[in-house]
Amino acid sequence: MEVALIDAGGANIGSVCYALERLGVDARLTADVEAIRRADRVILPGVGAAGAGMARLRALGLVDVVRELTQPLLGICLGMQLLFESSEENDTQCLGLMPGRVRRLSAGEGVRVPHMGWNRLQSRRDDALLAGLESGAHAYFVHSYAAPVGEDTLATTTHGEEFSAVVRRGRCWGAQFHPERSASAGARLLENFLSERLA
């Protein structure tokens, strides 16, 4: 299986590559349009700000490429947020592959932003991406913005408020948490994404 890891400049790229290597996949880190288009699976990682992430995709000429993909696409952390229509962060227009606006998490008593740490996933509906992951599995999060709960939500978590932890619309999936840092649950999600039954 050919896996393209979009070189979107995120700090988590190395750890995502290593997590895929542990699953026996030699993912290609690339910004090459044709390599991305011919891949069996495409992953959009990301850490940082939405505005900078979209600016990099535009500079690389990849915005329309990502929008027009027909194979399974997985956004991770910021990569998931960029799948939505827009983000409050710098009022950024994103890829528009999923409806909704990503919003900043609200800090409060006992609730720090950025959200950093392990949280339980609460499953909302079945999907091949979550096969074998029990509701209540722990995943590792590092973020300040989050997508709302909606019809595309597969799983949620709560940090002061409930938000989407895993989403899906058509060929696009997203994980707000870092599967590459989420031990067995994260490895299972990546393994499911690479599985033939996902297609």
Which of 89, 115, 159, 180 is the catalytic position?
180
Catalytic residue status for 21: no
The active-site residue out of 77, 115, 172, 191 is 77
Q: Is 17 a catalytic site residue?
A: no
Told to judge if 134 belongs to the known catalytic residues of this protein, a careful annotator would answer: no
SS (H, E, C) the chain: CCEEEECCCCCCHHHHHHHHHHCCCCCEEECCHHHHHHCCEEEECCCCCHHHHHHHHHHCCCHHHHHCCCCCEEEECHHHHCCEEEECHHHEECCCCEEEEEEECCCECCECCCEEEEEECEECCCCHHHCCCCCCCEEEEEECEECCCCCCEEEEEEECEEEEEEEEECCEEEECCCHHHCHHHHHHHHHHHHCHHHC
From 39, 120, 150, select the one nearest 174 (Cα to Cα).
150
Catalytic residue among 17, 94, 178, 191: 178
Active site residues: 77, 178, 180
